[in-house]
Structure 1
Amino acid sequence: MKFYFRAEFGRYASSLDKAGLFTEMITNELQTGEKTFSYSNFDAAIDRINQGWIVARIMRYTPYYEPFANGETILTGIEASLVPRFLNPDKPKAGGRDNFERFTGKKISENTSMGLSPLGEAYANFGVDGGIFFMFMLGLFYNFYMFVILRLALKYHSLILWLPLLFLQVVKAETDFVVVLNHLVKASIVVAMIIFSIRKFALIKL
């Protein structure tokens, strides 16, 4: 439904009209299911969740038309995750359009957000062998992070319940490295603040 809503979105000026459009479209779809269960919608959904075709396009386009980035986007992602936006106004925004078009050569619409995925970005930066090594190191990082969470959960028992939030972007397909790492860092800070605040002020041992 998001695709169809976006197609009609620009025709309405006020927020009230847009809300009315959304309600009308959802109501009609719940009654008919015409768009949700159409073959074209299933094809589009499979394309979006299939990380393989994104990686294939990257490998077909890079380095023949766009040279390997040699760690550029990885370093940018690390910097963007550690430095707040008010200190770095030019830090990348979520959506992945620029990197997607740069390394696949495929133009996507202004209303579409689609990233390379960590696997695709690993190849776009380091090639096949370097990409394999990078993914191995990224896996070790996730393993270490999980180890730390499980150790902390021995003291802060509810921490284990926050794992779905902490790993929300990690397990998603076609999400750029900058989005994955940025979410992991920011979500960790938010969860730590919530647990600390509740233990400090509500005197509840989460």
Structure 2
Amino acid sequence: MGRLILSLVIFLVSLWLAASSFYEALAVSFSLYTFLTFVHRIGQRIAILECISAIASLEILAVPAVTYWMFPASMPIESVTYFGYALPACIAFYAGLHGFTNNSSEDSHRHYIQHVIEYLQHRKTACLFLFFIGLVGFLVKIVIPLAPAFVGTLPMYCLLISVLYAYYSRSAYRTPLIGLVVILLLANTVRTGMFGDLFFWVLLALVLGTVSFSIPLTIRSKTVLIGFAFAFLLVIQSIKAEYRYNTWGHLRNERTANAGLMTELLIDRLTYPEKLLNIRHLFASFGRFNQGIMIGSAMAKVPVHEAYANGEVLLAFIYPLVPRLFWSDKPQTGGYENIRRFTTLTQFENTSINLSPVGEGYVNFGYGGILFAYLYGLLLRGCFQAVFIMAERVPSVILWLPMLYVGCLTMETDLLSTWGSLVNSALFIAILFWSTKGIGIEL
């Protein structure tokens, strides 16, 4: 109730102070509600779906609304037109993710984590096995950067899952193993210049790890955690462009590691915090999450200059099920073709921007994309609930939720990327469980 009241207050303040439209004020207040719900759920449940809806609302509603208040000329279409689609679509997505009722029996996931702890007491070496698989994947990615996900990225993710296994099994190797994984994760960030994995994996580790705390987190503790997360994100946004400029070439495989430069940039930002806390940097960081530019540009072009795709987006649900081995021309993830076809925005070989599933819903079905957004949220929720059903037989499957959903956290990517990430991860996990059981190793 407190979250709802505060959101209502923000709605009224937005209407009064910012002289915003009804849609803009509602967009900001709804975004605040999703964020407060996410914070409230931390420590009570594995709040991955809450995290997804909070990030979606930030990128599709809150940031565009503030941009309309401050720099309306930078947005491709009028506010009323944009929010006339984006607001109901985002609310529909939220409804699909969380349902329309509040079932108190689902309020806590603590007992699931307790079952995981009990289950792993006789499987303490599983973390070492997963670490070895992850290390192999890490080395493959170094030697063959463009290796298929099944032999590179997905095995490498086992490094992070090994940390969860070590932590919850109370393995004697947990401290050195966690230390090694942190070093490897940082090394991978330096090598690739990709900071998203680092941020999202840390976020997911907190979301999952805090559920097992014997003493529930207080509001003050959650505020501190969220504050550190935003500070971390601000630092990343500050150094990312400069680091990539000095270490990336024109093509995706033209990337070099420079740990010295990374350290120098971090020290510089911590020594001179005014480089972080200034209007120019804050606006640049803020604008980075403005998904409204992509969706708005698509709404400006479709259907006036480009016809609706009439359901082509649904093919993205089929692509991940066909191995690239049997389909050499299978579409790549990244959304390049969607941006070229449905917007007037430009992008380069070594960067990517995407319409997001909500934007793809519009270019395919027009305002029918609102229903599509609901069904997509419902699909993500169904997969999440399916994991808990399987956990009744194999409790440790809960620990694989971060790997399943790490590609679904943000709306800055396309449907083929998000859904493909979830499906490929699920297939990899299933094969891993099946194959290890065949050699007598229980995960």
TM over 0.5: yes
1:58 paired with 2:325, answer: no
Q: Distance in 1 between matches of 2:435 and 2:276?
A: 43
Query: Which of 295, 299, 307 is residue 67 of structure 1 equivalent to?
Result: 307
Q: Distance in 2 between matches of 1:69 and 1:14?
A: 35
Query: Which of 422, 434, 442 is residue 196 of structure 1 equivalent to?
Result: 434
Task: Give the equivalent residue in structure 1 for 2:246.
Answer: 8
Q: For the Cα contact (< 8 Å) 1:115–1:175, is it kept in 2?
A: yes
Q: Pick which of 185-194 and 37-46 moved more.
A: 37-46
SS in 2 for 1:196: helix
Query: Which of 317, 328, 337 is residue 98 of structure 1 equivalent to?
Result: 337
Deviations 1:134-181 (A, max 9, x none): 223223322332232221111110111211221112221121010011
| Alpha-carbon offset, residue 33 of structure 1 | 4.5
Q: How does 1:1-206 map to 2 (within 5 A)?
A: 1-10=239-248, 15=256, 18-33=258-273, 35-75=275-315, 77-128=316-367, 130-204=368-442, 206=443
Q: Distance in 2 between matches of 1:153 and 1:2?
A: 39
Q: Distance in 2 between matches of 1:68 and 1:35?
A: 44
| Alpha-carbon offset, residue 23 of structure 1 | 4.3
Please say which structure displays the higher CA radius of gyration.
2
| Alpha-carbon offset, residue 131 of structure 1 | 0.9
| Alpha-carbon offset, residue 51 of structure 1 | 2.7
Q: Pick which of 98-107 and 192-201 moved more.
A: 192-201
The amino acid of 1:7's aligned partner reads Y
Q: Distance in 2 between matches of 1:38 and 1:142?
A: 38
Q: For the Cα contact (< 8 Å) 1:81–1:185, is it kept in 2?
A: yes
- Count of aligned pairs between the two proteins: 201
Q: For the Cα contact (< 8 Å) 2:247–2:255, is it kept in 1?
A: no
Gaps of 5+ in 1: none
| Alpha-carbon offset, residue 99 of structure 1 | 1.2
| TM-score normalised over the length of structure 2 | 0.41
Q: For the Cα contact (< 8 Å) 2:355–2:412, is it kept in 1?
A: yes
Q: Distance in 1 between matches of 2:274 and 2:331?
A: 37
Q: Pick which of 92-101 and 171-180 moved more.
A: 92-101
Q: Distance in 2 between matches of 1:54 and 1:10?
A: 24
Change (3 A) 1:40 1:197: farther
Q: For the Cα contact (< 8 Å) 2:319–2:420, is it kept in 1?
A: yes
Change (3 A) 1:32 1:93: farther
Q: Distance in 1 between matches of 2:441 and 2:246?
A: 50
Deviations 1:83-142 (A, max 9, x none): 1222222222232233123222111343322111100000011100x2122223223322
CA RMSD of aligned residues (A): 2.6
Q: For the Cα contact (< 8 Å) 2:248–2:256, is it kept in 1?
A: no
Q: Distance in 2 between matches of 1:30 and 1:190?
A: 40
Q: Distance in 2 between matches of 1:28 and 1:116?
A: 34
| Alpha-carbon offset, residue 202 of structure 1 | 4.8
Q: Distance in 1 between matches of 2:270 and 2:434?
A: 43
Change (3 A) 1:15 1:127: closer
Q: Distance in 2 between matches of 1:177 and 1:14?
A: 26
Q: Distance in 1 between matches of 2:358 and 2:296?
A: 11
Change (3 A) 1:20 1:184: same
Change (3 A) 1:27 1:91: farther
Q: For the Cα contact (< 8 Å) 2:248–2:255, is it kept in 1?
A: no
Q: For the Cα contact (< 8 Å) 1:74–1:177, is it kept in 2?
A: no
Q: Pick which of 62-71 and 96-105 moved more.
A: 96-105
| Alpha-carbon offset, residue 34 of structure 1 | 5.7
Task: Give the equivalent residue in structure 1 for 2:69.
Answer: none
Q: For the Cα contact (< 8 Å) 1:74–1:178, is it kept in 2?
A: no
Change (3 A) 1:3 1:14: closer
Change (3 A) 1:201 1:45: farther
